[in-house]
Every structure is written in C-alpha cells, then in structure tokens.
C-alpha cells in the first residue's frame, strides 16, 4: 500500500498536481526517493525528489521543465538566443558543481553529451546539491571543423579539448599549421599564435597542445586543392557529348575528343573551337579599363581596340581541329583546364544574310560566291540599306570584314547590311547656318583689320 501511494504521488508530481515542497519527505523516504537541491541558472531552483537511479542531467532537466502554457514564450526566447549568439547569457554545461557533503566535483555535461563521457554525468545521492552557474568564459573554433562556433571554456582547456567537443576536424583540414587569435589588451589588440595541429591532437595536454585563454579564436584552414573536381564540357557533333573529368594542365584536348567517341560524320571540324571560360585566364586588363571609358574620351587606336575585342569570343583558342584529329598534330593538342568548353558544330550549308535586304535569312551556300550573290538571293537591298558599311562576319573567328568583289563568303558566314541613320534635316540646316554665320563673322573681322 505504501509503495502504491508513493507511486501515485510521484505521478501526481510529474503532472504538476501537487507542489513538491508541500509533500512530507517521510512519505518519499518510505518510497526510496532522494532529496536533491538544484540552484543557480535554472528555471525553477528548489528541492526535487528523484529516484535513486537518477543522474545530474536528469535533475537539471526537471529544474528546467516548463508548463505547456509557456512553451510558445520559451520557443521565442530560444530564437532570440540563437540570433544573439551570446553564450554568456546561457546556463553553463561545463562548470556545473556537484556538492556532496564536504566534497565538490565539477561536472562537464557537454563532454557527456558530445563524447559519451559517463563520468561527467554521475548518479545522484540523497542530499546532493547541484549548482548551475551562467557561462563565464568562451572560446571559438572556425574552419575545417565538424561543428564551428562558440564553446564554453573550463580551466585547463587546450586546443585538443575544444576540437573534441566540436566533433573533430574534417578530412579537408590542413593540420600542418593552424593558429589562434588572442586578445592581448582591452582595446582589441591581438596576437597570432601559430601551432602544428597534428602534433597538438597527437599529444593532448602536452606542450605541443596550446593552452587556451578567454575569447581565443582557433582557425583551421583547408588543404589547398583538396580533391578538386576538374571537368570540361564538350558539345555538338561527337558520339558522346557531355561533361568529362580531367586532371588540370595534364589532360589534353585530343584525349577528351577520343573519350567522347570522336567527331561524327556530320561534324564540321573547320569551325570547331575550344573556349577557356575561367575568368582569371581570360581577363584583359586593357579591355576592362576601356569598358569604363566613355567612347568620346578614347583615342582612335583605343576605340579600334575596343571594337575588335568586343566582337571577339573571349578565351577562344586558335586551333586547327582538322589537323589535330586527322593528323594527330601535337602543336594543337592543348592541355585543358577547369570549365573549358569544346564545341564541334555540324556541317553548315548556308550563309546568313541579315539586315537591310528584302528577305533576310539563310541562303544555300554556293562555293566561291561573293557577298553580292547572297544579297541578290535575299531579294536585293531594301530602300534604307547603308551599302558603304556592309560587313562579313566570319563564322569561325567572329572577325568583321569589309568586303570587296574578291572577298569569298565561307560556309556559316553572316553578311550584314546596316540601316542608314535617320537624318534630322532641321538640325542639319541649323548647324549649317551656324557655321555660315561664324565664317561670315570671321571674314568681316579680317576685312575691318585690312581696311584699318
């Protein structure tokens, strides 16, 4: 009967039906319950009655339990704490004190939770006092660590302790050299302490394992070029187009052509190209500078350079794919880099006539014909064609040519006929009158000087 009554009272307390402090300790003693005091940074400090098999973490959890009516407020508070990331406002997990008669033991619950250190979460005894302070000191760890962030510090902490609490380093960690940034005064002046991380982790709590101070920041860098995944893309008329893995500056263009199954019967190797797309390899400082300069402020030579570069395909290599594939010419066998792009077009049998013609579009290619043939095939010039500015744009190079009667149009080329600019005759008349009046004024001044 006594055991049943004790069990009933335990259930009642668990559901908040009776306040613990109003229940006689004699009853619980008969049910083999321990009297545990929890104080400090917990939600409800006080005396708790716990079963003999209880641990420190369990009584702290009881002291932090909240009614359902306060759950929403608790969630909001947690969100604010996460946003502020200020651990100094949080209760300690590593500096908890277990006071048992005349002995005091420091409890590190974080080591129990993260590393399974059972000795850091001991069983309770009747009359124990558990004191939970607020976090006083922190250190942080960043970089190639499994759980970056701020960690509470305890006396004697070294680098290996924090690395273990952060669940160890990643495979990408550069262990030959890591460093600690340490504040040396109250004015944010810092010093850098460099150490060998591999030695520190292999010899924990030795001279090789740096001892930490409050607000230290540990930085673990990444191994340079660790398992970099280099690849290139090949599109167009090959048997197996797609992305291919390479070893940068070691895999050649011919190797990738072979891996892709080689050009198909419809491939036009004369117009194939390789483009390097990585910015650091294709940047043109002079062109980048001219992009910021107004056209009217450029010299004639600068403007010509700017126009030429604007029309070119950036990063395009000058490669003869026919000689590379058919004759295995090593002079064109370029070593590839990350993100290189290879394009093998199909055989084009047309010429594109664009601009001011009556029927712009694609015209069937006829060998050795000049630009006027294709313009006539497109219906001839329209009324506003600017014939003096006709250009041929080469399909292979993107070059703009001013044609003459002997210029042969090639497969895939574009014949471009621009439009005459609109003329504002009133503005032209005003400008002409202004010039005439200025000339007349100068002539009158000269005449007066001669007569006098």
Same domain, 161 and 96: no
d(CA 36, CA 55): 11
Same domain, 42 and 115: yes
Q: pLDDT tens digit string along 340-399?
A: 999 998 887 888 898 889 998 888 888 888 889 999 999 999 888 888 889 988 877 778
Last residue of a domain, one of 220, 244, 275: 220
d(CA 236, CA 254): 16
d(CA 171, CA 179): 18
For residue 305, is it within any domain? no
Last residue of a domain, one of 220, 251, 282: 220
For residue 244, is it within any domain? no
Once rounded to an integer, what is the mean pLDDT over residues 26-33?
56
For residue 206, is it within any domain? yes
Once rounded to an integer, what is the mean pLDDT over residues 151-175?
94
Number of domains in the chain: 3
Same domain, 111 and 157: no
For residue 359, is it within any domain? yes
pLDDT at 74: 55
Same domain, 99 and 153: no
Same domain, 125 and 48: yes
pTM for the whole structure: 0.54
d(CA 448, CA 452): 6
pLDDT at 13: 47
With cut-offs at 50, 70 and 90, classify the pLDDT of residue 173: very high
Once rounded to an integer, what is the mean pLDDT over residues 413-429?
77
Tell me which residue range forms the domain holding 394.
350-417
d(CA 265, CA 272): 14
Q: Identify the CATH number of the domain in which residue 177 sits.
A: 3.10.560.10
For residue 49, is it within any domain? yes
For residue 122, is it within any domain? yes
Last residue of a domain, one of 163, 194, 220: 220
Same domain, 116 and 143: no
For residue 97, is it within any domain? yes
Same domain, 125 and 52: yes
Same domain, 145 and 118: no
Whole-number average pLDDT of the chain: 84
| Paired tokens of 77 | 């508070």
Same domain, 40 and 113: yes
Same domain, 157 and 117: no
Residue 127 has pLDDT above 80, yes or no: yes
For residue 448, is it within any domain? no
pLDDT at 123: 95
pLDDT at 214: 92
């Amino acid at each position: 009967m006594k055991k049943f009554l004790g069990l009933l009272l335990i259930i009642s307390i668990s559901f908040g039906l009776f306040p613990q402090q109003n229940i006689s300790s004699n009853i619980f003693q008969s049910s083999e319950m321990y009297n545990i005091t929890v104080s400090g940074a917990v939600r409800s400090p006080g005396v708790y009655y716990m079963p003999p098999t209880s641990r420190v973490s369990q009584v702290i959890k009881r002291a932090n339990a909240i009614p359902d009516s306060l759950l929403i407020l608790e969630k909001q508070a947690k969100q604010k704490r996460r946003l502020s990331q200020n651990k100094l406002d949080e209760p300690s997990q590593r500096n908890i004190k277990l006071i048992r008669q005349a002995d005091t033991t420091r409890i590190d619950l974080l080591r129990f939770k993260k590393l399974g250190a059972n000795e850091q979460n001991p069983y309770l005894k009747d009359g124990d006092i558990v004191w939970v302070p607020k976090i006083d000191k922190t250190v942080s760890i960043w970089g190639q660590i499994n759980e970056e962030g701020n960690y509470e510090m305890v006396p004697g902490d070294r680098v290996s302790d924090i690395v273990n609490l952060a669940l160890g380093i990643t495979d990408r960690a550069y262990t030959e050299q890591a460093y600690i940034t340490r504040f040396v005064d109250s004015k944010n002046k810092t010093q850098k302490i460099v150490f060998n991380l591999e030695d520190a982790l292999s010899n924990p709590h030795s001279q090789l394992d740096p001892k930490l101070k409050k607000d230290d920041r540990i930085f673990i860098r990444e191994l340079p070029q660790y398992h970099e995944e280099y690849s290139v893309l090949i599109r167009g008329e090959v048997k197996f187009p797609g992305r291919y893995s390479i070893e940068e500056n070691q895999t050649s263009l011919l190797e990738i052509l072979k891996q892709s199954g080689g050009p198909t019967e419809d491939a036009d190797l004369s117009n194939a190209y390789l483009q390097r797309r990585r910015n650091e390899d294709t940047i043109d400082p002079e062109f980048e500078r001219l992009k910021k300069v107004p056209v009217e402020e450029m010299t004639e030579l600068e403007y010509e350079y700017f126009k030429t570069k604007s029309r070119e395909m950036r990063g395009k290599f000058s490669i003869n794919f026919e000689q590379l594939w058919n004759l295995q010419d090593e002079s064109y066998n370029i070593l590839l880099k990350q993100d290189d792009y290879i394009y093998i077009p199909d055989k084009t049998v047309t010429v594109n006539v664009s601009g001011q013609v009556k029927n712009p579009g694609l015209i069937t290619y006829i060998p050795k014909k000049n630009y006027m043939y294709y313009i006539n095939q497109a219906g001839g010039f329209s009324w506003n064609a600017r014939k003096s500015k006709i250009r041929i744009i080469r399909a292979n190079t993107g070059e703009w040519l001013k044609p003459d009667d002997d210029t042969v149009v090639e497969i895939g080329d574009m014949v471009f006929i621009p439009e005459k600019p609109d003329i504002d005759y009133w503005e032209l008349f005003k400008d002409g009158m202004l010039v005439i009046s200025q000339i007349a004024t100068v002539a009158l001044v000269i005449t007066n000087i001669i007569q006098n």
